[in-house]
Structure formats: C-alpha cells, structure tokens
Structure 1
Amino acid sequence: MIADRVLLPPAGHDPASVRALFAALATDTGVDGARYVGGWVRDTLLGLASQDVDLATVHAPSDVTARLEAAGIRYWTTPSGLAHGTVTAMLAGHPLEITTLRRDVATDGRHAQVTFTDDWRADAARRDFTINALSANPRSGVVHDHFGGLADLAAGLVRFIGDPLVRIAEDHLRILRFFRFHARFGRGAPDAASYAACAARANDLMALSRERIATELLKLLALPDPTATIAIMVDGGLFAPVLPEIDAAALPRLAALIAAEAAADIPPDGLRRLAALLPVDPARAEAIAQRLKLSKQQVLRVRLAATRDPDETPAALAYRIRLEPAIDRLLLTGGDPRALAGWERPVLGIGGGDLIAMGLSPGPLVAQTLQQVERAWSDAGFPPDGVAPIARAAVERVLARG
C-alpha cells in the first residue's frame, strides 16, 4: 500500500535542525519554499529505508546561502555546485543537499544546460520517471504528484515522463536507468511505450562513456534478482551495441549464480554477476572488462571468475587466488563457499633464504622451488608443521637433478 504522505524528518536527522532549515527557506507568498524531492520521497512512500535525501527550493543559490547564514546554519558549496544550483547544509553532522529548481534549456544526450526557476512542475518535468518526480511538503508531508507517479508506484510501473524517445534523447543513460528501476520497483511486464523506446534507441548507448555504462550496469546487477530484467534486455537487443557478448546463453549462468548466492547466504555482487554473463573464457572476459574501463582489480577478478582450473579444495583455491575471487569461482562452478567461512590466509613460514640454507644456489631456481613448495603445502592442506619437510624434499629433488 502506498502512503499519501511522507514521514518527516528523515531518520537520523535532528527534528529541530530540520525545522530550522525549512523555516529559513520558507516564503511569505504561500508557495512552498522547499520540499523533499526524488528518491527519498519515493522510497518512504513504499516503506523502504533510504539515505538518498535531497531538497529542492524556489530560491536562487545566492539567496539560499544568505538565508542559511542568517539562520546560523552551517553550509558549504563549490563553484561547480553553485553553477548547478546546489548548496549543502550541515544539520547536526548530517549533510543535506539543497538544489534550486531548474528547467532544461538544451541537452545533447549526455549533459544538460539548465536555468533556474521557481516552478515546481517545470522542475519535476525534467526528471526521468514519474515515480522519481514526486515531492513532499516538509511541514504537512503532503505529496505533490504532477505526472501520475503515485499511481505508477502503486502499480509497480516504471514510466518515462512525457515522450520516452524525447527523454532518451536528452540523456542516453536513461535507457539503462529504465531497466534498473524496473528491476527494483517494477512488477510484471515493463511499460510498453518505455520499453519500445529503449529498444529503438539502444544504439544511443554507444555515445556514452564505458565508465558510465559499467557503473549503471553494476548497479542493476547488484539488485536482489535482476534475471527477468536482463532477459527482456537481451530480447530487446539492448546489449547488442555495447556488450554483444551478453546473449540468451548467459541467462542460465546468471540464474544459477543468484540461486547459489541465496543458498550460501552471500549478498548480491554486481561484478560477480557481470562475470556470470560474460563468456567462460579468461582472455575474452578480461578484454570485455577492460573495454568497460573497470579497475585493474576488477578486471583481474573478472578474469579469475572466467578461469576453470583443475579441481582444488576451497582453501587451496582461496590461498592461490585470494578469498573474494575464490568465492566467485565456487559460486559460479557449483562449489560451496561456506567451506571458507572464517577462513584466514595461512602463512607459509619459509622463504628463499631457507632454501639456500638447505643447499640451493642463489638464482631463479630458488623462486621456482619456493613456488613448488607452496603449491605442495597447499595441496597437503596447509599442515602447520609440514612445510619444512616439504621444502627439504623439494630441495633434495632439485639437487639430485644436478
């Protein structure tokens, strides 16, 4: 059930500080001087916890700072923030962004030029989906809904405001955002007009930076179960322009991974799930991760997830490739990561100097032998007193070969 008003103030915020802030931003014309907007309003109406608390105001940024100073409320901003109309107030240690109402002047699919306004409807109209365009009066909690967002929220419908093709042309990332919000808030089939527009304009994704695509995709994949949404994206050809490697054959791997995470009580992980969608080929998976401009650590993790080495015990695997990649591998291959609960990396307790003391000559052979010792020790189950005999046996074999 959707509430008809929000609960104020947000959790963790001092009520007296919040009242003082809204009093400072009040008008004497009867028009709301400030409202809660966006994600926090949406989530609160659904009874969900949200840290995404934002305010909008009719006042220009310079007027906002003057009002905050007059009220003795600490704030900070930057030249870039002021240019975009954003001032951050500090309320009992909690930062709260206050942004002046805006309307779009021009867009190019990636960025928008805006001008400030005092028109609440105009500001709501520039937002992407109806459920994100809600605002709430801070004193009464009454929700203002200009585009049917409350009905869509109740119906589990994610829908663009206005013409979906126009909204996508304004910002191409909205294609991926549509599917992320559908996976989180949607119920049943996606809004037909919105889905058709996303499919028709899928090639627009090529104009976006790969970093932005990766960030949005990982957010989508980190939701509790995005399998159905990923499936409709594959059906609509949404991945073809930028990630053609993700196809219908990848869907069973994703579904199996999500089931394995649930069985092992392991939280969702967007990167692990991305690895499930990519080819089970280390070189190809690595190339795709690099194409998405992932970090070096993320690229390595994707490569390791796509690698299929000979069977090892979970502990030996974790020792060799580290704990997190080992958990990925076990989940992706039907292993049981619960075997690694509380696992701590064992210490070998022997080094190259010890092998030299046993008779090896300094040089590359020392490092090679040490690797053999380490592998044999891990294969033996990391016996705490067993590394020295393993090392002596390895050195003797080397010396016997001359």
Structure 2
Amino acid sequence: MARVFAALESAGGAGCVRFVGGCVRDVVMGRAPCDLDLSTQLTPDATEAALSAAGIHHVPTGKAFGTITAVIEGQPFEVTSLREDVETDGRRAVVSYTSDWRCDAQRRDFYLNALYADIRGDVFDPTGKGLDDARAGRVRLIGDAATRLREDYLRILRFFRFSASHGHGLDEASLNACVALREGIDSLSGERIQQELFKLLAIADPVNVVQRMIETGVMAHVVPGAPVNAERVAAGFPLTADEIQRLIILIGGRGWDDVLSRLTQRLRLSNRVADRLTEAAVAYPEADITASPADLRRHLYCYGRQATRDALVLRAAEAGLRAPAWQVLDEALSHMDVPVFPLKSARLIAAGLRPGPELGQTLRRVETEWIAHDFSSIVIEAAIDAVLKQTNMRRE
C-alpha cells in the first residue's frame, strides 16, 4: 500500500491520494476495514502513468468511470480519480474529473461514506458531518435527500442496507425521501437490485429495516407481486443466517409459486437460486413443522434435504416458531438420512419378472407401499416373494 501512495504522490505531490469511503468509516466506527479503496487528484491517465513508472502492475478495471486497480503481491487496490457529476438520470452519471475533495465528497451518497484519510491515519471530513454521523451510527443522505436519490435510485436500497448494517434507526428525512421516490426502483436493473437485496439479507439483524421497507411500500418495488409479510420476517429471520432462506421467508407463502417466474426474471436470479426457490415452493404445501419422524422422512425422500429444510423454515416463520424449537427440528433433519429406494429392476428380473410395462408398474407400486410403511425393508422382501410365487405358478 505504501508503494501505491509513494508512486502517486511522486506524480501529484504530497496529499494527492487518500483512503476513501468504507474503510475510513469502519475504522472511525471501531470496525475492521474491508476493501482499502483510494481516491486521488490525478486523472486516470496520470494514475496509470505513475503506477507504470513505479513498476506497479495495474488494470483499467473501471477506467471509463475513473477507476484504475493497482495490484501489489496479488492484492488489488482500487484507485479512483476525484469526480463531480455533470449529468445524472437516476441510473448512471456523466462525470468530470476534479482536484477538489469537497466536490468529490458532495457527490457521494451518505455523510458517513464521505470520509478520507491519509496514509498516517489523519481523517478528512470535507462535508463537516461525516465524522459525527459515523460516530453516532447515523445514515443520512448528503445535502437534499431527494436530489441525491434522483441522481441514482439505487441509493434508496443502499440507504436501507447501510441503516441495517451501520445505523441506529432510520433517519427521518432520508426515509421520507426514499418512500416518496420508491417508484424509481422500477428503473433499476435486476442485477443491481439483486446485489443490494442479498447484501441486506446477509446482515446479521436486518429485521427492523426490512419491516419498514414492507410497511412503507418500498419492498413492493424490490420483489413485485410477492406475498411479503412483516410479521413473518420478524419471526423467520432470526431462525437462519442463510440469505436464500431469508429470501424464501420474505417472498414465500400462499400463492408465491405464481410469482416466482416473474421474480426470477426481474431480479436476474441465477439458475442455482431459481431452482432452489422453485423446489422449496413445490415442497411447501406438504411441509409441516409438527410432522412425525416418519412423515419427515417421507418429505425428505420426495423433495430432498435442501427443499425440505427451506419449506419447513418458511412454515416455522409462519407459525412464529422460536429459534430454540426450530434448531431442534433442524438438527433432527440434519441427522435424518434421506431414504434410498433399494429395489432395482434387475432384482425383479432375476426373480422372474420380464422386462416391460409390468416391470415398471411393479416398481412404482412397491415404492408407494415402501413409502407408506416408513421405508420398511419388509415391503421389499414381500414384493420379491410375491414375484417369485407368481413366477413359480406360471411355470406350473
């Protein structure tokens, strides 16, 4: 990291590069920083030239947006030129480069994200409000909230996510602007909405924020048509940290299979996630958190372990099941083997049954009886005996 600072400052002078955004915010809030992003007064071309002169490998990962990624010993560091907005349309912005830290800070989303620090750790707060907000856990849109949102409607979702992860409550002015402009979410791409939604669902305790999104009508623009329910979220999210299961709890319920196809397309869900949601929806109607062990085994056999767990956690959320009770049920499921039908066509043929329609019919009938008798091997042996007797009678 020191090499990157030295390389850029050799071209732009002392203080031309600073840490920016999340890494500074998290240190101020007493958290471990994640990505170490940098801002610089140098233009992208000048940044590339400075890194090349210092022998630092770099990639123009987002040069069109002012970002060059320096790579030191395999670790990437994004370096973005200071920018100011020239034109915005709610989805993307036309920017120009600047050397003014204040201009760059004013185009950011929240005060607590508009913080910078030099390599010595001295923090710079161009808005004059970022440090106070970070220390207070206050997530507020910079300047006029509605103006910030109209520049990029994704900030509506970011406001709720950061309020859940870094905030203490919801800032009223920012919340009111998000609610008033919630239809702007409809103009966003499915990929951008999906990324923000999954980040929100992965937060340790997003319940209060998700409930407010439901109650204010914001969530209806995130997962349109889904039977969302604030009470189900409050009961279900504490049961699991799996964001896919939390999504199932959020959008699941009676009639949710009717909207899955549209949601899959709108959110641009991967085939893996879409298949998991579909399988849970198929298993859901028969899922029962009060089922006997035999019925649970039948459910496992018919729908598989993952779909069974996903359907049951939704049922648990609907029933308001407490976490300790769910953990007992989930633990029982995890130790319960998924039955495997032991009878193969080769064994029936060896017993004398000829290949053909009768063979398939016999397999299906035996499987049905085997399931109904809690997967008892006695059913299988009885079926083999019956085939042997039938074969002997034909020979006689």
Q: Specify if TM > 0.5.
A: yes
**Cα distance in 1, alignment partners of residues 152 and 130 from structure 2:** 20
CA RMSD in angstroms comes to 3.2
Unpaired runs of at least 5, structure 1: 1-17, 262-267
- Quickly say closer, same or farther: Cα 1:243–1:89, change in 2 above 3 A: closer
**Which residue is 1:38 aligned to?**
21
Which among 321, 333, 357 is matched to residue 315 of structure 2? 333
Which among 276, 279, 302 is matched to residue 249 of structure 2? 276
Which among 279, 285, 305 is matched to residue 308 of structure 1? 285
Unpaired runs of at least 5, structure 2: 317-325, 392-396
Tell me which structure has the larger Cα radius of gyration. Answer: 2
Instruction: Summarize the alignment of residues 289-300 of structure 1 with structure 2, pairs less than 5 Å apart.
Output: 289-290=263-264, 291-300=266-275
- Quickly say closer, same or farther: Cα 1:208–1:363, change in 2 above 3 A: farther
Shift of 1:398: 11
Task: After superposing the two structures, state which structure 1 stretch, 167-176 or 302-311, moved more.
Answer: 302-311
**Cα distance in 2, alignment partners of residues 97 and 269 from structure 1:** 30
- Confirm or deny: 8 A CA contact 1:103 1:123 kept in the other structure: yes
**Which residue is 1:232 aligned to?**
212
- Quickly say closer, same or farther: Cα 1:171–1:298, change in 2 above 3 A: same
- Confirm or deny: 8 A CA contact 1:286 1:300 kept in the other structure: no
SS at 1:26's partner residue?
helix
**Which residue is 2:200 aligned to?**
220
Shift of 1:37: 0.9
TM-score by length of 1: 0.80
SS at 1:333's partner residue?
helix
**Which residue is 1:265 aligned to?**
none
**Which residue is 2:394 aligned to?**
none
Among all aligned residue pairs of Structure 1 and Structure 2, give the percentage whose two residues are the same amino acid. 41
Structure number with the higher helix fraction is 2
**Which residue is 1:253 aligned to?**
232
SS at 1:280's partner residue?
coil
Check if 1:26 corresponds to 2:26.
Answer: no
Paired AA for residue 126 in structure 2: H
TM-score by length of 2: 0.81
Q: Deviations over 1:284-341 (max 9, x none)?
A: 2524533433233323322343422164654543443333322222322235111233
**Cα distance in 2, alignment partners of residues 364 and 116 from structure 1:** 75
Equivalenced residues, count: 371
**Cα distance in 2, alignment partners of residues 366 and 159 from structure 1:** 69
Shift of 1:31: 4.8
SS at 2:183's partner residue?
helix
Check if 1:74 corresponds to 2:57.
Answer: yes
**Which residue is 1:7 aligned to?**
none
- Quickly say closer, same or farther: Cα 1:108–1:338, change in 2 above 3 A: same
Which among 54, 77, 82 is matched to residue 96 of structure 1? 77
**Cα distance in 2, alignment partners of residues 94 and 64 from structure 1:** 18
- Quickly say closer, same or farther: Cα 1:57–1:344, change in 2 above 3 A: farther
**Cα distance in 2, alignment partners of residues 256 and 87 from structure 1:** 44
**Cα distance in 1, alignment partners of residues 34 and 301 from structure 2:** 37
Shift of 1:50: 3.6
**Which residue is 2:320 aligned to?**
none
